[in-house]
Amino acid sequence: MRRFAPALILILWAAPLPAQQTGVVEGRVTDVESGVPVATALVRVVGTVLRTFADDSGRFVLRGVPTGEQRLRAERIGYVPGATTVQVPADGRVEVEIVMSPEPVALGEIITVATRRTTTTLDAPISVSVMEEPEIMLRVPETVADAVAYVPAAQFVGEQLNIRGLSGYARGTGSRVLLLIDGVPANAGDSGAINWDVIPLTEVERLEVLKGPNSALYGTGALGGVVNIVTARAPEKPLTRLRLVGGLYDNPPQEDWTWSNETQGFLSGELSHGRRVGDFGFWLRGGQWFDDGYRQRGDLERTNLAGEVEWAGASDTVSVFGSWAREDYGAALLWCMRGECRDPYQLAFQPLKIPLDARDDRTRSDKTRAFLGHRHNWSETLNSFFRLSYQRNDWETDFGNDTVGSVSNVYGGELQFDWRAANWIYLITGGEGTYTPVEANLFGKHDQSIASGYIQGEFELGRWVTLTAGARYDQVWMDGGNYSSQVSPRAGVVLAPYPVTRIRASVGRGFRAPTVAEMFTATEVGGFLVIPNDSLLPERSWAAELGIQQLAASWLSFDVAGFFYDLADFIEADTTATSEGGIVIQFDNLPKARIAGVEAIAVMSFLRDRLRGQVAYTYLLTEDRVTGEPLAYRPQHHLLTASGTFTFRGLEFGADYRYASPYDHVKVFTSPVTDPIVAMSVLDLRIAYRFGRQVIRFMVDNSANYAYTTIERNMEPVRRYTLGLDIQF
């Protein structure tokens, strides 16, 4: 009972307010030059908490708008903000059109993740990268992870997402990146890992990647950043979308590595349909993916289904969401070393083959999510959001004679209030609770409970200074006993000395409680012995960032940020070799560590915006402050050259280059002969043709067929050719 006290206090505090006269504003956002609809523009009623997004046809509906004269403002990346004034009748509707002027290179993208409310990156005191649906689909991705890999300062180490080097590698366990789907946490309950397949791609409207520790807003799990997936809302007019993707893997870059005489390929289809009926909006989505894999026994089959119903009344919006995803894939841990498989070339290792005794290793998983949300506008200056969520992860891996698996359930609830207390004050406060029972043959039976309360204020001091200050309290219980607690404060400031300049600074505390998997895993598979550590401490951090966004010319904007993270009791997988030749892994606390760096991003536009480009570079310095050595699995230089895109009469030609310098060191296999550490250097090429609302895309991933690893003895994909067709009607 005690753990939910903050939420109860908030419920009691939120006494009903007197009803006010309101009306409905409907309208359309259009491009002033071409007259075409401006999709996904943020439309808000100035001076209130009321806001919504325009759909694909530029249409929007705002309910519960106070009667009388109201000012509407529309914002969208690539456009100068548009505004208009409207007279709202009592209990009636009014139609309005907002026009926006294109601006090829602009500052500010619309986000919800940085401050827990809809705003723009201009107002965020910390670094945020945004990727909208057209850019997500640009590279014909398989899952959301394939899009996130192109975010500046983000790198996948194996399957584990690293943002600014904060995560390292532990086979996905103990992710320091928090995955949110429309603001609802979605990391696995047992290991904290991110399952990127839980959401069909046609559901994704926008990705927001918040960099650095953000426990002050999101608590444990957000110590290494946050990825928020914003899903598409039901359109005003019925919309069906079919996405077909198929392709082939090329031969290995070295003939000696050939492992099959057959060509390997992949094929997938996603279908979605959405519409509105009166005050109701619906979405149904499903997808199926078959993949032979680019290496031996690397085949995969994936299915996902999702549905959503939303009811929007005058002052209330209720949404119900459910999804289910299943994966079944080959799960060999390592490539084949000499003598472990049949190899006519007798090489030291065969990177695309697996050991004979790992040929039947497979993983099956089922992921179920359900969500109920209720947003209520108490007045034009106060609204609340309440949610209940459930998530179940059930997985099992067969390693020959050994089978390991886990079932975890996450029950969550949250209540948040947004209050514009004055024209210059915006307050957010809320409470959140989760209960996670886990039962597994490699963790045992455990449960973790977390109760949290948070408050944040934004203070607009004049036209050019915005202060942000807030704190979050998290209390963690493990197996019913008190485990730890943490107050995570954060303060930030955004200065706007000129309309084309934003200077941001922030300082805050970070916190992450270890997951059940990190504390209790006890298993022995594939030569790895994992031993538990039930005395593992929570990790904590202090983070500071200073950045500037500048529109330097009509064709160039840039963002430069310096960051510093001081880490205490940092949880890393500790590895030691046994006298039997095996590897022992145990999660342990590094007493002190440090990560510092600089991130620079430039966005350019030439030839009347026909040619767009982005260059991003991150320099990282990491240090274990006890040994003085760099942290494992972190590159010092991370360069992303993305979006060299040339558009001409419906045709788009593009190229993306990703580079990360070799790690200073890795943890498990360290022989320079048999376990080489090389740089990541990947060039992708793409072409697309748009006809009406349909798009056909062709992509060559890893066009140079460059052979590299991001973790030991696991080669990354070879060159592959992908054809994608996106049909909307």
Residues near another protein (CB under 8 A) are: 253-254, 256-257, 338-339, 345-349, 351, 553, 555-556, 579-581, 602, 604, 606, 613, 615, 617, 637, 639, 641, 657, 659, 671, 673-674, 676, 678-679, 681, 706-709, 715
Output the DSSP codes for 61-94.
EEEEEESEEEEEEEE-TTEE-EEEEEEEPTT-EE
C-alpha–C-alpha distance, residues 234 and 460, integer Å: 34
Q: Which residue has the tokens 């890999």?
A: 149
Tokens read off for 256: 């000696």
* Number of Cβ atoms within 10 Å of the Cβ of 348: 12
- The nearest distance, CB 595 to another protein, in angstroms, is 20
Beta bridge partners of 687: 653, 698
Of 106 and 715, the one with the shorter C-beta distance to another protein is 715
Of 486 and 614, the one with the shorter C-beta distance to another protein is 614
Output the DSSP codes for 446-513.
EEEEEEEEEEEEEEEETTTEEEEEEEEEEEEEETTEEEEEEEEEEEEEEE-SSTTEEEEEEEEEEEEP
Tokens read off for 569: 């009791």
Residue 232's nearest CA partner among 210, 264, 201 is 201
C-alpha–C-alpha distance, residues 151 and 129, integer Å: 7
- The nearest distance, CB 706 to another protein, in angstroms, is 5
- The nearest distance, CB 21 to another protein, in angstroms, is 55
- DSSP state, 354? -
- The nearest distance, CB 707 to another protein, in angstroms, is 4
Four-point Cα dihedral 41, 155, 210, 200, nearest 10? 50
In whole angstroms, how far apart are CA 568 and each of 178, 512, 540, 629?
A: 19, 11, 5, 16
Of 290 and 659, the one with the shorter C-beta distance to another protein is 659
In whole angstroms, how far apart are CA 531 and each of 48, 163, 523, 562, 586?
A: 54, 28, 7, 38, 5
Of 85 and 254, the one with the shorter C-beta distance to another protein is 254
- The nearest distance, CB 619 to another protein, in angstroms, is 10
C-alpha–C-alpha distance, residues 271 and 269, integer Å: 7
Of 461 and 577, the one with the shorter C-beta distance to another protein is 577
Of 315 and 674, the one with the shorter C-beta distance to another protein is 674
- The nearest distance, CB 68 to another protein, in angstroms, is 49
Residues in the chain: 729
- The nearest distance, CB 479 to another protein, in angstroms, is 34
* Number of Cβ atoms within 10 Å of the Cβ of 220: 28
- DSSP state, 37? B
- The nearest distance, CB 564 to another protein, in angstroms, is 23
C-alpha–C-alpha distance, residues 550 and 556, integer Å: 9
Residues 6+ apart with CB under 8 A from 481: none
- The nearest distance, CB 557 to another protein, in angstroms, is 12
Residues 6+ apart with CB under 8 A from 498: none
Of 21 and 576, the one with the shorter C-beta distance to another protein is 576
- The nearest distance, CB 66 to another protein, in angstroms, is 48
Of 341 and 428, the one with the shorter C-beta distance to another protein is 341
- The nearest distance, CB 151 to another protein, in angstroms, is 18
- Within 79-140, where are the H helices? 133-137
- The nearest distance, CB 13 to another protein, in angstroms, is 53
- The nearest distance, CB 612 to another protein, in angstroms, is 11
Of 345 and 729, the one with the shorter C-beta distance to another protein is 345
The single-letter code of the amino acid at 116 is: R
Output the DSSP codes for 649-674.
TTEEEEEEEEEEPPPS--SS---TTT
Of 158 and 265, the one with the shorter C-beta distance to another protein is 158
| Cα atoms found within 13 Å of the Cα of residue 323, Cβ hemisphere only | 28
For residue 561, how far is the Cα from the chain centroid?
20
Of 207 and 615, the one with the shorter C-beta distance to another protein is 615
b/e sequence 47-62, b meaning 16+ C-beta within 10 Å: ebbbbbbbbbbbbbbb
Contact 586, 573 (CB under 8 A): yes
Q: Are strands 680-691 and 694-701 parallel, antiparallel or unpaired?
A: antiparallel
C-alpha–C-alpha distance, residues 654 and 150, integer Å: 14
Of 401 and 579, the one with the shorter C-beta distance to another protein is 579
Of 565 and 663, the one with the shorter C-beta distance to another protein is 663
Of 286 and 613, the one with the shorter C-beta distance to another protein is 613
Task: Provide the phi-psi class of 649: left if phi over 0, else alpha when psi is between -120 and 50, else beta.
Answer: left
Four-point Cα dihedral 73, 77, 80, 85, nearest 10? -10
- The nearest distance, CB 195 to another protein, in angstroms, is 29
Of 315 and 681, the one with the shorter C-beta distance to another protein is 681
- The nearest distance, CB 606 to another protein, in angstroms, is 8
Of 92 and 339, the one with the shorter C-beta distance to another protein is 339
Residue 19's nearest CA partner among 68, 91, 127 is 91
- The nearest distance, CB 153 to another protein, in angstroms, is 15
